[in-house]
């Protein structure tokens, strides 16, 4: 089972060897990561198996998305060739699963890819310009390399498909809502996985839990999960909405865009502004990568400090906004690249939530191993750090499609 998980600045590819769905999350027998977060024209390739590792630098003058097909082919070569080879040919793969960010109203469950599914993914690229084109590129590359292998699309929007009507409806004319302009929500594969994973750690059934899950990476979103169902989320019609992110602005006054249109900005320029030039990158003027922001703060760069402070403030506001639909909070969950690996972000976010009864154990917060509860013994709200397993969740969805 091969899984392709394309993000806005990275691509993870995993190979799982499975007889049936196991009781615990199995490690992939092969794992590769392409990361172009620091430079869109240069991708760092890292490949791991249980016994070997391989690293390389791939370049393309036009960068991802244009360079992504060539990068994927180079990545897949390490699956069948060299020291990291674990299969003889790609024909050894029985099914390929893809994370697809936007499925609109059309797709609310995993589906086998055909021409109609590909056309829909392309259509919804207008709503998710950083992701759906990369998702589609992965599907088409795999279709070229191994056309006989069935492919499955697993949609990030599916977990949010049953948002209450009051939560998904924008205050706009109803004919626009009827045309599909509504809040969809994203990162659903991750939010669903960590909300399910939280229950055994808290020793409570999922139906009894009120969670706020924080998926924090280059893209960031928060979700309110009550009784295992998503009842509210910060992203909306597109992944540009919600809290501040690496290059995306999150929620801003829509009048700003009207003002810039009247000042001569084109739609394409606004697209670049909202999706690729804002967020941490826009405020700092340095980078969308939090690691570089933190390094600049250590050097006394004021703009980097402001970007970080705005990011923390945005997360605190977002978390507070999700409390009413839950009616209270049992646990706060941090996951994804920043959520799992940036203790300063967790500490600073939670410091502003003391009024809610959130208090961290500073020693546990600084640790870097495994899924864990980092709240203090006296905290009224538990605080979990969970490793998101989107790749396994996609593989599990493929198993169910294969069985059907």
Tell me: is residue 279 an annotated ligand-binding position: no
- Tokens at 370, concatenated: 């495994």
- Tokens at 214, concatenated: 């924080």
Provide CATH 3.30.420.40 ranges for the chain.
2-160, 204-385
Inter-residue contact 218 to 9 (CB < 8 Å): yes
Residue 46: CB atoms within 10 Å: 15
Q: How far apart are CA 206 and CA 225, in angstroms?
A: 9
Rg (alpha carbons) of the chain, rounded to whole number? 21
pTM over 0.85: yes
Catalytic residue among 23, 156, 251, 298: 156
Given this structure, which CATH class describes domain 204-385?
alpha beta
Q: How is domain 2-160 classified at the architecture level of CATH? A: 2-Layer Sandwich (3.30)
- For residue 394, give every residue at least 6 positions away whose Cβ sits within 8 Å of its Cβ, in sequence order, or none: 3, 5, 97, 98, 99, 152, 154, 189
Tell me: is residue 48 an annotated ligand-binding position: no
pLDDT in tens, the chain (404 residues): 999 987 667 788 999 988 777 777 888 999 999 888 777 788 899 999 988 888 889 888 877 667 778 888 888 899 999 899 999 998 899 999 999 988 888 888 899 999 999 999 999 888 888 788 888 988 998 898 889 999 999 999 999 998 999 999 999 999 999 988 999 999 999 999 999 999 999 999 888 999 999 999 999 999 999 999 999 999 999 889 999 999 999 999 999 999 999 999 999 999 999 999 999 999 999 999 999 999 999 999 999 999 999 999 999 999 999 999 999 999 999 999 999 999 999 999 999 999 999 999 999 999 988 899 999 999 999 999 999 998 999 998 988 888 88
Tell me: is residue 246 an annotated ligand-binding position: no
156 is catalytic: yes
Tell me: is residue 291 an annotated ligand-binding position: yes
Q: How far apart are CA 140 and CA 136, in angstroms?
A: 6
Tell me: is residue 12 an annotated ligand-binding position: yes
Inter-residue contact 142 to 96 (CB < 8 Å): yes
């Amino acid at each position: 089972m091969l899984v392709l998980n394309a993000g806005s600045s990275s691509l993870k590819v995993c190979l799982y060897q499975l007889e049936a769905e196991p009781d615990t999350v199995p490690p992939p027998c092969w794992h590769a990561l392409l990361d172009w977060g620091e430079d869109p024209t240069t991708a760092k390739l890292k490949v791991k198996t249980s016994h070997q590792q391989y690293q390389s630098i791939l370049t393309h003058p036009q960068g991802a998305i244009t360079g992504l097909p060539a990068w994927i082919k180079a990545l897949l070569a390490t699956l069948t060739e060299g020291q990291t080879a674990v299969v003889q040919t790609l024909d050894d793969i029985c099914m390929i699963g893809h994370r697809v960010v936007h499925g609109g109203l059309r797709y609310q469950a995993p589906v086998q890819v055909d021409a109609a599914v590909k056309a829909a993914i392309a259509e919804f690229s207008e709503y998710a310009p950083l992701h759906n084109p990369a998702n589609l590129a992965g599907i088409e590359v795999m279709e070229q390399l191994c056309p006989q292998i069935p492919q499955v699309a697993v949609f990030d929007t599916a977990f949010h498909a049953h948002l209450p009507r009051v939560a998904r409806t924008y205050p706009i004319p109803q004919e626009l809502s009827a045309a599909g302009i509504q809040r969809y929500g994203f990162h659903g594969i991750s939010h669903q996985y960590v909300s399910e994973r939280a229950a055994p750690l808290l020793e409570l059934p999922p139906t009894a839990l009120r969670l706020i899950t924080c998926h924090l990476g280059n893209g960031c979103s928060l979700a309110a999960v009550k009784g295992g169902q998503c009842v509210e989320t910060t992203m909306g019609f597109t992944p540009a909405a919600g809290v501040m992110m690496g290059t995306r602005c999150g929620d801003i006054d829509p009048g700003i865009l009207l003002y810039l249109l009247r000042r001569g900005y084109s739609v394409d320029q606004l697209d670049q502004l909202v999706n690729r030039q804002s967020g941490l990158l826009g405020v700092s003027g340095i980078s969308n990568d939090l690691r570089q922001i933190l390094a600049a703060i250590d050097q006394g760069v004021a703009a980097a400090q402001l970007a970080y402070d705005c990011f923390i403030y945005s997360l605190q506001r977002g978390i507070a906004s999700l409390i009413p639909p839950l009616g209270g909070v049992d646990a706060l969950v941090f996951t994804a690249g920043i959520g799992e690996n940036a203790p300063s972000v967790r500490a600073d976010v939670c410091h502003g939530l003391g009024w809610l009864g959130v208090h961290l154990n500073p020693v546990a917060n600084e640790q870097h191993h495994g899924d864990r509860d980092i709240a203090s013994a006296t905290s009224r709200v538990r605080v979990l750090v969970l490793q998101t397993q989107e790749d396994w969740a996609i593989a599990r969805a493929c198993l169910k499609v294969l069985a059907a």
